[in-house]
Structure 1
Amino acid sequence: MFSLQGMNALVTGASGGIGSAIAIALAGQGARLALSGSNGDKLRSFREQLMSEVGSPDHGDHVEITCDLSDTVQVEELIPATLDTLGGIDILVNNAGITRDNLAMRMKDEEWDQVIALNLEAAFRLMRASARPMMKARFGRVINITSVVGTTGNPGQMNYAAAKAGLTGMTKSFAQEVASRGITANCLAPGFIRTAMTAALDEKQQAAINARIPAGKMGEGADIGAAAVYLASREAGYVTGQTLHVNGGMAMIG
């Protein structure tokens, strides 16, 4: 169950904490990956790690494609590059994102613009570009990584919360447009996940976060990876326009 054998996937932000966990999980179920990110050295290193830990699928080696998602020209070239290297695209994971936190009254225009451009607009462009090959194949899985704060909000993150909430609405609209062609589009909304970023917090800060989570601890990257595998699978073909929250009960959203 949940085999991804024969599938090709593009994962953005693939060398980051959550992105790498998703990539490892997809590859572990047999998908061939195009790993995308802005840092070519980190991508290359992660690809080598992936090949060592998981290996290559039957239909070819994993590849890396360097792309700065804040550059619209590079964004528009990413899906064609994926098609050229993999020969097709079955799974698109829009995971890359940035934060530029500030209180609303102090937030600069560029802090707003940068977050919206990379977290929301780039995802739109990649969804738009992937629609045609997926429709032609009559199969596709789009997974957009949002956040619990897209639903709950968070002080100091008006730009980030707006981008993630916008991504949810955009996903629902896209899902309705392409459902008849065998394509699903869903959101995956992590809560607090143990990554290098959260590991940098001191013990008091981590304890305060854990106290807000009924499960009593932060999630692991593998928790997000497992959820992504499900949404990418053939078995999830009747699930579309949904948001799967993976947050240990921190926000129980119906």
Structure 2
Amino acid sequence: MTTMILIIGFISIGTCLTWLFWYLKGRRFALRNHLQKADAIVVLAGTRGSLEFLDGKIRTAVNLYHQGWAPYIICSGKFSVKVDDKAPDLIPLHELHEAFQQGRIQKKDIANAAKKWDRNLGAVYLRDQALALNVPSESILIEDESLHTRENAAFVLHLLKKSNLSHIIIVTSPFHQLRTYLTFKKVLQPYGIIITNYYADTGEWHPFSWFLSKKHRNLVKSEVERIQTYRKKGDLL
């Protein structure tokens, strides 16, 4: 009987330690800092193919706005991946080829982008959702030209400098929060802009349980690989 109790105890401890390990790994990606009053909340487009996922980002940003953490919301991104039950406004092929010629995207991305990159679900969509959630129009800024995270940071920087804003709260997908932070930090650090992280409540990925899903484990694996690749390119801090 005593042996059985010890075995059960060891198994329980092992399970708890394993869970703690994966939880802490998830928290490395899903960053949430202690909130401080800021100048603007920056929310990034991106659906992962689910409108609920995108809506979770803007709801999180709007909640922070209504709680008084910042007087502005900046909606960032030209597109999100299309959602099946929404009629898309796909980026025209000639614009994608032009973006490639300008070095903004890679040639290998053009074919997929032409099929999936929906302008109806970019920054303008985020703005419209914020308006519907009682954020006044004068409190919303948009940049609807960025095609990836580095451009999110660069175009947002332009708005920050133009409006003399020096502290932002970044809201994006939990698994994308770390890479977003490292990218924004690389771009904004020379200008002394302070960044606070607050991952979005997207209703899907959570640091406490992400590792139970193969899909979510693959997302984290992809983020690790992208962080390594973009850091070598000099795009990340």
TM range (shorter): 0.3 to 0.5
Structure with the bigger percentage of helix: 2
TM-score by length of 2: 0.34
- The structure with higher relative contact order (CA 8 Å, sep 6+) is 2
TM-score by length of 1: 0.33
Bigger Rg over Cα: 2
